[in-house]
Amino acid sequence: MEKNDIYRLLPRVDSLMKEKETEELIKEYGYDCVIDAVRSALNEARGEIGCCATDSEEKPEETVGRILAGIREKIRDILCGEKRMNLTRVVNVTGIILHTGLGRAPLGQEVLRNAGEIAGGYSDLEFDLETGKRGERCLNFEEIVCRVTGAEAAMAVNNNAAAMLLILSALASGGEVVVSRGELVEIGGGFRIPEILELGGAMLREVGTTNRTRPEDYRRAVCQETKAFLKVHTSNYRIIGYTRETTLEELAELKKETGLPVIQDLGSGVLVDLGKYGLVHEPMVQESVRRGADVVSFSGDKLLGGPQAGIIVGKKKYIEKMKRHPLARALRIDKFTAAALEAVFRQYLDPEKAVETIPVLRMLTRPAEEIHVDAEKLAERLRASIRAEAPDGAEGALITVEKCASRAGGGSLPEQDIPSYAVTVAPVDIPAGELAERLRKLEVPVIGYLSGEKLFLDMRTVDEKGAEQVAEAFRGGEILRKEAP
């Protein structure tokens, strides 16, 4: 049979659309989606016919029969695949708490409830209930931020990069900003301090050296054009050894002499003393405010544990200026973020409770021994599940519990190894990399990491539901078989 004859055997779009089965699909997915799926399925079929090798074992009639028989199923598959959301919930067993690739900070139940409630209906987002007139956006949220941080005023924009852009545009455009050479930070994803300054229309005036910058260096750089001093928290690297950093207090002294504001990009925005929980003490927002920074910006979804946002706190006169800047309108947060931020900050009114209720802090401060118990439990469960199905007592994998190190991630606490425990899986019949790939392709993907010839599943970053999903992924040991499940 000639290829052209085979093509002619393919059903036509309109005849497929008229079939009873298709009618059912139209009811479920809508006419437009179904006709697109029909066309795609026919295209795929043509492609398959086109590349059918003439010397294949299969007779041409059989090939055609197979392709034709598969068309209706193909249409269904296409529609089904389209229906599934592209953004997929995954199980994070990497041990990296603020995994930027996996969405940084997960939100707690109460925060989600509040955000869902507000976003799902109308709210007084920009409405003054007192006067019945249009009001200012986010006042409720700002009040609570000031209360927690001790700042005079606050506002929020889309993320911390946006916050820096707004601060520099509003306070330093057309002038110079003095920054230490030790603090010209680059954060992943293309955020570099010198570039963000340029974008904000300000000139960078570098002072000092990589390891040492004295107050005198800042003082000498001040000229007619100077608009501000900028300090950047070196959140994702450390300079150690022979170092001298100019403190906020010292810059506050310079402010008294020059009248120039001190701006600080704090990065993570920690609001509790992490030192209390055996971690490195990260500079807290409250400390920056107390120590004399005029404007402080930080992320909402790093160690703060909230939604993506850039929060700016500080002196009222500077915050007012930023609120009036046209960029503020372009970078503003939506009601969902405003509601979530308010709910997270409310939890910080009681810091001890915050450590329990905010998932990022809970994961960060969980004692390793607790995680050890979870890991042993899951390991035993996986072994039992695999063994139950294994033919002749053969094991699909060697499963153990090992010590490992979790990380804060998100460019925070760069040197801190947080002791933790992982369930490790060394598959017998397939390479560990193949197992990692199969786990990534599940309906609920499980994301661990490879080390040696083993897959590590760090239990610090999963809750009970996550552990359940890992167990489900390994049920019956099918995922470990030589032939793909």
Count Cα atoms within 13 angstroms, Cβ side, for 209. 5
Q: Does 299 bind ligand PLP (CB under 6 A)?
A: yes
Q: Which residues fall within 8 angstroms of residue 77, CB to CB, at 6 or more apart?
A: none
Q: Does 233 bind ligand PLP (CB under 6 A)?
A: yes
Count Cα atoms within 13 angstroms, Cβ side, for 233. 25
Name the closest residue to ligand PLP (Cβ): 267
Q: Does 191 bind ligand PLP (CB under 6 A)?
A: yes
Q: Does 187 bind ligand PLP (CB under 6 A)?
A: yes
Q: Does 336 bind ligand PLP (CB under 6 A)?
A: no
Distance, CA of 416 to CA of 419 (rounded, Å): 9
Q: Is 387 left (phi over 0), alpha (psi -120 to 50) or beta?
A: alpha
Query: Taking the complex as a whole, how short is the minimal distance between the CB of residue 286 and ligand PLP, in angstroms?
Result: 18
Query: Which residue, 301 or 374, is less far from ligand PLP as judged by CB?
Result: 301
Query: Looking at 139-147, 217-225, 227-235, 401-409, which segment touches ligand PLP (CB under 6 A)?
Result: 227-235
Q: Does 185 bind ligand PLP (CB under 6 A)?
A: yes
Q: Does 267 bind ligand PLP (CB under 6 A)?
A: yes
SS3 label, residue 312: strand
Q: Does 180 bind ligand PLP (CB under 6 A)?
A: no
Q: Does 159 bind ligand PLP (CB under 6 A)?
A: yes
Q: Does 307 bind ligand PLP (CB under 6 A)?
A: no
Q: Does 310 bind ligand PLP (CB under 6 A)?
A: yes
Distance, CA of 299 to CA of 350 (rounded, Å): 20
> 306 and 314 in contact (C-beta within 8 Å)?
no
- What would the two tokens of residue 19 be? 């079939």
Query: Looking at 1-9, 185-193, 245-253, 399-407, which segment touches ligand PLP (CB under 6 A)?
Result: 185-193
Query: Taking the complex as a whole, how short is the minimal distance between the CB of residue 179 and ligand PLP, in angstroms?
Result: 12
Query: Taking the complex as a whole, how short is the minimal distance between the CB of residue 190 and ligand PLP, in angstroms?
Result: 10
Query: Looking at 144-152, 230-238, 287-295, 423-431, which segment touches ligand PLP (CB under 6 A)?
Result: 230-238
SS3 label, residue 207: strand
Give all strands (DSSP E) within 176-309, no chain letters. 176-180, 186-187, 191-192, 203-207, 226-232, 262-267, 295-299
Query: Taking the complex as a whole, how short is the minimal distance between the CB of residue 197 and ligand PLP, in angstroms?
Result: 12
- What would the two tokens of residue 259 be? 């009248």
Query: Looking at 148-156, 183-191, 380-388, 413-421, which segment touches ligand PLP (CB under 6 A)?
Result: 183-191
Distance, CA of 252 to CA of 193 (rounded, Å): 21
> 385 and 477 in contact (C-beta within 8 Å)?
yes
Please give the residue ranges that form the binding site for ligand PLP (CB under 6 A).
159-161, 185, 187, 191, 232-233, 235, 265, 267, 299, 310, 411
